Amino acid sequence: MKNDLPKKWIHNLKILDVAFQPILNIHTGKIFGVEALLRNYQEVGFGSIFELFDEVYRDNLLYSFDLKLREKALKKFTTINGYKNIKLFYNLDNRLLEMPDFSNGNTNKLLSNYGVDKNGVCFEISERHEISNSSKMEEILNHYKEEKFCIAIDDFGVGHSGYKLLYDSKPNIIKIDRFFLTDIDTNIKKKLMTRSITHLAIQLGIKVIAEGVETKEELLACRDIGCHLIQGYFVQRPTLKAAEILNEYTHIIDILNNEKRATGSSCKIETYVDKAAPLFIDTSMSLVIENFQKNPDIEVAVVVNSQNEPVGILQENKIKEFIYSPYGRSLMANSGTKKLKLKNLIQPCGITEINCNMSTVIELFSNNPESIGIILTNDSKYYGFLSARAIISIMNEQNLIYAREQNPLTKLPGNLMIEKYLSDITANQNSYILCYFDLDNFKAFNDVYGFRSGDRAIILFADILRKNLPSEFFKAHIGGDDFFVGVEFNKDTEKKYIKKLFNILTKFKDDAREFYSKEDKKNDCITSADRDGNLKKFALLSASASLVIIHDTKCKKNINNINEILSIQKKVAKQDCNHISMSSLL
């Protein structure tokens, strides 16, 4: 390990300090790791961290200097309460691999000196810098993985070689760049792109960190998309004080607990989880084979590292194929460096948390026809395995539940799911817009044009809801010509969401005209009997909207109160010239 730095850089190292920013499990709010961030670079005369490293690089001292920084970071990391159970994320400057004095084994010495397990360190490689020697980078990355170090790609998505780097480096983790996460709760394009990146990573057995999250809405959007971990100012700003790093963050936990939304399903995933004991990555092949022989029903074994984190799976048929191959047995018997090791047979597998939304698991599985299952974790530790057969059984159960609870005509959720939705929103302290839609003059239309045309009008309205309201809107069919919509909002989305609901009225009124004859459209009315049997003229089909806006924590929400207010507002909307009524619960 190099110690011959010039006095200038030794002096700078004494002034430089390391700050930590926590990385949390996005489903539990508990700490997963911390990123080491360099501080006090201004005090040694540099305008940015990049300027500092550029000068060290020009002095041809980058590797020696970086080793000293690693030691400084490790030393401070060990002062964090519970550091043995979390990871230290450390950024590698890609150019240090070009240094002539680069050599292997120095990090292992540092870890040994400070009592940190290899699985407790994750090296970050940024997409923001070009890798001048890609073959050398791949060689070093393979070395770090061979030595059981965790590898993360930082700033994923902003560089030109993102997917190539993903393919070449086979990382354990990717950190999605802040650009994709800004306003992800309202920007559909960013949400779709982030979902695509996240689901690809999960299917490759890669964890995903949502980096730079700054709002509750971004947190929840990233959780719903399937991200595993979260980092950003909304969790905690970087701190120079190791004592300020907590084991769990109550403000995140409170949000997650309050935001557990009804999924519309009573399917219990626990019933289907296989909790067979995992294989540790250092297990000898003879013990691996013995494990399969003693447990003939096991087709797949999950492989974990020393921190009980899944690293992949081993299929029984792969073992059999190898054993019966011409050189399989000799390789297993070989006592030299060519001896077969478990890690050489591991396959990547999708990983997600046990308490994630079940629809995420199903979507991941459905998008990968070759998937044999998904690994489940509990707070990032191995929990169990969901086989392909188990996931298909869950899908069938959910389909039966959904079919039973949806309206048979429109295929929208029915009253049971509406009750679940209302029950869920009354259990938290967030802001919601609830809307009751009612078709106007529907009975007259149904009497004149027949029940089949009436059904077509109802189906039209349901289709308009589906096509014009984004996925964050809960859309349901109460029955007959009555519909229900609910959506959570914030100060930035309230007006936009209300406008979307009002636009439904205009869209339906325009489209429904096509159900009428030319004469009725010309007259802009039809003649039919009223409820007392008297003939009268009725306007063409339209709809009324009754909105109840529920504001944040100060409102004590009650299902009966909400239903009562909606019922009153429905009558008001019918009499309003614009067919709209609104009220607020403050």
Which of 202-206, 292-296, 411-415, 477-481 is least confident? 292-296
d(CA 547, CA 409): 25
pLDDT tens-digit map of 28-70: 999 999 999 999 999 999 999 999 999 999 999 999 999 999 9
**Rounded to 5 degrees, what are φ and ψ at 521?**
-65, -35
Query: Strand (E) positions, 159-212?
Result: 173-176, 207-211
- Given this model, what pLDDT does residue 419 score? 87
- Three-state DSSP class for 31? strand
Q: Phi and psi (nearest 5°) for 39? A: -130, 165
Q: Does residue 335 surpass a pLDDT of 60?
A: no
Q: How confident is the model at residue 499 (pLDDT cuts 50, 70, 90)?
A: very high
Task: List, by residue range, all CATH 3.30.70.270 domains of the chain.
Answer: 406-585
Architecture of domain 406-585: 2-Layer Sandwich (3.30)
C-alpha distance from residue 136 to each of 54, 131, 275, 519 (Å): 20, 9, 41, 78
The CA distance from 511 to 467, in Å, is: 13
* 581 or 361, higher pLDDT: 581
As a whole number, mean pLDDT of residues 131-145 equals: 61
Give pLDDT, residue 560.
Answer: 64
Rounded Cα distance, 442 and 538, in Å: 10
Q: Quick one: pLDDT at residue 12?
A: 93
User: Is 7-258 assigned to CATH 3.20.20.450?
Assistant: yes
CATH T-level assignment (fold) for domain 269-397: CBS-domain (3.10.580)
**Residue 243, pLDDT above cutoff 60:** yes
Specify the domain boundaries for CATH 3.10.580.10 within the chain. Answer: 269-397
Q: Give residues with Cβ within 8 angstroms of 318, minimum separation 6.
A: 345, 347
**Among 104-113, 301-310, 350-359, 471-480, which stretch is predicted with the lowest mean pLDDT?**
350-359
The answer to whether 455 and 409 are in contact (CB under 8 A) is yes
Strongest mean pLDDT among 235-244, 335-344, 427-436: 235-244
pLDDT of the residue at 377: 93
Token output for 379 = 């707070």
Between 443 and 259, the more confident residue is: 443
Residue 350 Rama label (left phi>0; alpha psi -120 to 50; beta): beta
Residue of higher predicted confidence among 194 and 102? 194
pLDDT band at 323 (very low <50, low <70, confident <90, very high): low
CA distances from 585 to 135, 384, 496, 582 (A): 62, 44, 19, 10
- The tokens describing 71, both together, are 């030691």
User: 280-316 b/e with 16+ CB inside 10 Å = b?
Assistant: ebebebeebbebbeeeeebbbbbbbbebebbbbbbbb
Per-residue confidence at 264, pLDDT binned at 50, 70, 90?
A: very low
Average pLDDT over residues 100-114: 89
Which residues make Cβ contacts (< 8 Å) with residue 299, sequence separation at least 6? 315, 316, 317, 387
Selected residue with higher pLDDT from 237 and 584: 237
User: 576 near 543, Cβ under 8 Å?
Assistant: no
Asked if the model's pLDDT at residue 1 lies above 60, the reply is no
Contact assessment for residue 375 and residue 382, using Cβ atoms and an 8 Å cutoff: yes
pLDDT grade for 337, boundaries at 50, 70 and 90:
very low
Query: How far is residue 191's CA from residue 169's CA, in Å, rounded to a whole number?
Result: 25
Q: How far apart are CA 214 and CA 530, in angstroms?
A: 57
Residue ranges of the chain that CATH labels 3.20.20.450: 7-258
% of the chain beyond a pLDDT of 70: 89
pTM: 0.73
The secondary structure element, H or E, covering residue 389 is helix 388-405
Average pLDDT over residues 500-521: 95
Q: What integer pLDDT is reported at residue 334 of this predicted model? A: 60
Q: What is the pLDDT of residue 263?
A: 40
Higher pLDDT, 293 or 558: 293
Residue with the larger pLDDT of the pair 428 and 278: 278
> How far is it, in rounded angstroms, from Cα 554 to Cα 535?
50
The CA distance from 487 to 471, in Å, is 10
